[in-house]
Chains A and B, each alone.
Chain A
Amino acid sequence: MTRKTTLATVLCVASLLSTPIFAETVLRIDEVAVGELDPAKASDYADSILMFNVYDTLVIPQQGGPGHVAHLATSWESDGATYTFELRDDVKFQSGNSMTAADVVYSLERMQALGAGLSYLFTDVKAEAKSDTSVQFTLAQPYAPFVASLVRLPIVDMAFVKANSESEWGEEFLSANGAGTGAYGVKSHNPQEETVMTKSDSYFLGVPDVAPDTVRLRYGLEAATVRTLISQGEHDIASQWLPPEVIQALAKDGAQLLTESGTGAFYFKMNTTKAPLDDVNCRLALSHAFDYGTAVQMIAINDEVSAGSPASGAIPVGMYGANPADAVMARDMDKAKEYLDACKYDAADFNIEVSWIAEVPLEERFALLMQSNFTELGIKSEIKKLPWALFAEQVSKPENTPHISQLFVNAVTGDPDTLLYGMYHSSTPGTWQSPEYLSDAKVDEFLDAGRSAADDAGREEAYKALNARLMEIAPTIYGFDRQSVFAASNRVKVPALSDASQAFGLDGMGFSFRLMEMTE
């Protein structure tokens, strides 16, 4: 052997030795606190990420198109009032217990009993186990998007919860531990700091080797921290709440941009119980004074990617009842002045509280934009910064709710009912989605018609009427239709967030870790 080949052999062996073939892959992501792990209480984006990975649901959205496919179920049939689902018989919970129809019934009843989170989707449903692998849901009244809503019913391991908890619903246990069938199990969970999840060996669909072995979901990181961590290769996917400038800077440094579009919109919600916004003309004045064009410019990341598109009305483009995409909302100061003159309050007395969520820095700019827009109309306003936790508490009382709250709301099941009902129906006031405290008989009527209509045409008609009514009474300034943009390192490939044919059309589901690929 010559010296050269010896050297080459040594180098070759050395490089083989130093390549960790079975190295554990870790995916690091972040979201806004609090991470709610209890399936009956989960509602926001961080919670959704936890739910879609630790738990499974009977159906999941079809990738790359409309509709839903069976997941824990194998098939279902319906006559409008009852839905019968056949379940897979090969699904094991992370505890090792087999999943049966009794678990489905328990999960639904638990959701209804606790009455928190997204339980409003399931108020009029009864479930009954017909056999171990068959479950029947009976609806008190027809609910067109029922199958869609099942993506929000995580199936909980009843036997495991009862074995680990004194109370019937095991609230304490489930707020700190996972009890699902999901592809990832909870290793540790601190709702303010971090949730660590690891790949489950017993997942019924199997988890590919390339999927991350461990996922660390951290809460409440500062934008500058995330920016630095990603540049140094110590973070993988940033939350969607980074300001556009930071996403731009990361993209310039070579980060990839992932997108998840839009079954939601960005709203400036007006408290309709507080003077002067209890007068419809005042609200219309503000909504006509808002500079929609500038708002859309502010969220552009680069020429190709933007965090949203112009709104055409109260309902995002692409949903039932939406106005055409080219009928964009625009500023009209003349009309704004007309409405202001018709308002029963004197403009000089206004002092509009414009709040913004401390964790979403971009909102401060919208607040300043509004303040400047309103000043042109001769209306005074003050800007108030609220941490998310404080905001969520304050909106529970109309008198504590600011005049204007800025919120991104999405259809939690992908269906317009779950976007609009929670925001505008008079029976659901005072949640973070409904700081408007709207109470309008016509809106209620159209919302009810939309969820009970027998066919697509009927739903389209109901939501069209709703859209028109919501434009007329303006409880909200409809900012823009939103698309989530995530800056990410190149260590991970996320087809569900980068390839339209793989996208789920349901917020948060793109973060199914089992479908991700770690490249190093």
Chain B
Amino acid sequence: MIRALRILASNPLSLFGLLLVVLIVLVAILAPWIAPFPTHNGAVVDFAFANKAPGARNWMGTDLVGRDIFSRILYAYQISLTLGIVVLAIATPIGTVVGLIAGYSGGWLGTVLMRIVDVFLSIPPLVLAIAMMGVLEPTLTNAMLAVTVMWWPWYARLVYSVARSEREEGYVLAAEVIGANTAHITFREILPNCLPAIITKMTLDMGFVIIIASSLSFLGLGVQPPTPDLGSMVAEGARYLPDSWWLTVFPGLAILVAVFGFNLLGDGLRDVFGVDE
């Protein structure tokens, strides 16, 4: 653990990433207390202050119905992080189990499972998500579902390739020789050795999930108004460029900071675990 922290600390960029992630998580959790206008995450309009440039009252300006953009970004982080965590919490176990079974058992079962995974991977992720959202109602739950469906195959493929190489290792053979059953070998012997790769990918993926979710809501397929969401804030503001730049620039920066933070941290974790891409 201490060794891990030392490796992480030895790379200032990774440390910076960790800092950003901690900051974003704190800000999201504390949003109701630190947002200057905590009611502005809901169905509130205040046309007296509509479309105001950044200033002392509203640090990042106000949107077209007079809501404080800074407050809304804080709340939007809640949505983005929740979405990222839920998606990964569902996609990772599914993908891991499928990858482990396919990787350890091999044979026809492995082939069938991995061909199914290939089918999912052959469709561009955003296209698949958009197609799903076209059928479903645009809500936060469905957005999570759509992103999850496109995300699990990546874990299946990752775990499959790790499991394939691990099954030839001496410790697996030893377990087989002493008569351990398949479940024991896959979950108790092979899985722990896949974890570093999985955790690294999860950290890197948080950023990507946030981007995909923002893309969906940019297209109007994600979280619906008045719930604040970074993607839809960018989409709404884009029409008013270049005059009302604050409508787009701050939510855009917020996405950038989040994705940047998770990517840097992910890179750092990769060094810590010694995982190869």
Partner-B contacts on A (CB < 8 A): 222-224, 227-228, 243, 245-246, 249, 294, 297-298, 358, 361, 364-365, 367-369, 371-372, 375, 381-385
Contact = CB atoms under 8 A, between A and B. Distances in A.
Interface string B190-234: 000000000000000000000000000000100011100000000
Interface in B9-47: 42-45, 47
B45 A223 contact: no
B46 to A, nearest CB: 9
Most buried by B among A243, A245, A249: A245
Interface stretch (B108-116, B119-127, B167-175, B235-243): B235-243
Contacts of B220: 358, 385
A374 B51 CA distance: 23
Given A246-B243, A385-B220, A372 B45 contact: yes
A208 B225 CA distance: 50
A297 to B, nearest CB: 6
Interface of B: 42-45, 47, 50-51, 64-65, 220, 224-226, 236, 238-244
A243 B239 contact: yes
B117 to A, nearest CB: 34
A186 B89 CA distance: 58
20 contacts: A222-B239, A223-B239, A227-B243, A228-B242, A245-B51, A245-B64, A245-B243, A249-B243, A294-B45, A294-B47, A297-B47, A298-B50, A364-B225, A364-B236, A368-B45, A369-B45, A369-B65, A381-B43, A383-B224, A385-B220
A54 B244 CA distance: 39
A224 B43 contact: no
Contacts of B225: 364, 367-368, 371, 383
A358 B238 CA distance: 14
Nearest to A371: B43
A278 to B, nearest CB: 23
A224 B224 contact: no
Contacts of B238: 222, 224
B239 A365 contact: no
Nearest to B139: A382
B235 to A, nearest CB: 10
A364 B226 CA distance: 10
Contacts of B45: 294, 365, 368-369, 372
Given A365-B65, A371-B43, 13 more contacts: A224-B239, A224-B241, A243-B240, A245-B64, A246-B240, A249-B243, A294-B45, A365-B64, A368-B43, A368-B45, A368-B65, A371-B226, A375-B42
B17 to A, nearest CB: 33
Contacts of A249: 243
Contacts of B50: 298
A361 B226 contact: no
Contacts of A381: 43
B219 to A, nearest CB: 10
B47 A368 contact: no
A245 B244 contact: yes
Contact of A246 (B42, B47, B226, B239): B239
